[in-house]
Amino acid sequence: MASLIDPTGRPLKGLKDNTQAKAGTIPSGTPKAAQPGYIKDASLSSFAADVLDASMDVPVIVDFWAPWCGPCKQLGPLLERLVTEAKGALRLVKVNIDENPEIAQQLRIQSIPTVYAFKNGQPVDGFMGAVPESQLRQFVQTLLGSTGEEGAGGVEDALSAAADALEQGDVSTAAQLYGQILQEDPGNPKAVAGLARCYLQSGDIDRAKKTLQLVRPDGASDEAIRAVEAELALKDNAAAAADLADLRSKVETDPANLQARFDLALGLDAKGARETAIDQLLEIVRRDRKWNEDAARKQLVTLFDAMGPTDPRTISARRRLSSLLFS
C-alpha cells in the first residue's frame, strides 16, 4: 500500500509514481484523463495529482464521504457551491471512503464527513461533521486569504454592507443590496433572510413570508432564515395580544394568573420591550415550568431563535432559564 503521509503527518511528495505503480490502473507513460471544472472525484491512483500537486497552485479541499452518510449529503452540496463561487481560486476533491478505504486509513479518517484543506502539498486545516454554512464560508475565506476578492468574498462584503444599512435604518438601500446579491446568487439564505427582514421592518408581513420561500433548499435551516421565521411567528402571536394596561392590571391583581402574564409578554414584545417580555416569561417558568404544555419555555426558545445565539439578551436569558429548570 502506498503511504499518503509520513510518520509526522506530512504528505509524501513521491506518492504519485508509487501509487500508480501499485494500483496498476495507469500504466507508465499513459497520461491521466483530464477532468474539467474545479470539482473532482479522486481515487488512490489520482490522489497525488488531484490533491498534493494541485495544492501547489491553489488550495484544495478534500471531502471524505460515503453514499450512506446523511450529514455528507448536507455538507457536500454546500462545499461544491462555495468552490464554484470561488471561480477557480480553490478546488474540491471528493473521496468516497467505501471505494477508497486505503486513503481513509492512511489519513486516519475516523468519522465522516471529514474535510481536509491542503496548501503547498501539506494539510493546513480541517474539521469533522456537517457545519453551518456561515462556518463553512469562514473556513473557505481563511483558505482563500487575499485571493478571494471575487467569489465568496464579494458576496460576503455585499452581505455585510446590506446588514450595516439595515442596522442603520436605511431599509431601502439594504433591500437593493440584498436584491443584487440574489441576482448573482439566487436563493442565498443570508440575502433572502435580509430582504425578508427589510419587508418585516417596513410592516409588510405578507411579502416577508413570501420572500422566505425564495431560499434554496439547502439553506432553509440557515440561522438567518430561522431568525426571520421566529420573528414572523412572534408577530403572528402578538396580533392576538390584548390591551397592555388591562393585562398589567390583571397581573398586578393576581400574580398567579399565568395566562394574563403570558399575554402581557406577547404584547410587550410586540411593542419592542423584548427584555421585559423575557422577564415575564421567565417568571411563568419559575412559578409553573409545565404551565400550558411548556408554553413559556417554548416562547422563550422562539425569542432566542429570533435574536440569534450570540445576542447578549439570548445568552443572559438562556443562563437564567437553565438555572430555573435545573434548580
Active-site positions?
A: 69, 72
CA distance 90 to 222: 24
Torsion angle of the four alpha carbons 136, 142, 144, 145, in this order, in degrees rounded to the nearest 10: 150
CA 11 distance to own-chain centroid: 30
In three-state secondary structure terms, 325 is: helix
Q: Which three cell numbers stand for residue 64?
A: 471524505
Of the candidates 82, 176, 83, 64, the one whose C-alpha atom is nearest the C-alpha of residue 128 is 64
CA distance 50 to 89: 15
Give the helix/strand (H/E) hosting 235: helix 223-238
Of the candidates 121, 131, 190, the one whose C-alpha atom is nearest the C-alpha of residue 161 is 190
CA distance 13 to 9: 12
Beta strands in 70-137 (DSSP E): 91-96, 114-119, 122-128
Cβ atoms within 10 A of the Cβ of 310, count?
Answer: 8
Are the beta carbons of 162 and 181 closer than 8 angstroms? Answer: yes
Give the helix/strand (H/E) hosting 39: strand 39-41
Of the candidates 231, 201, 203, 228, the one whose C-alpha atom is nearest the C-alpha of residue 213 is 228
Q: What angle do CA 137, 99, 219 make, to 5 degrees?
A: 25
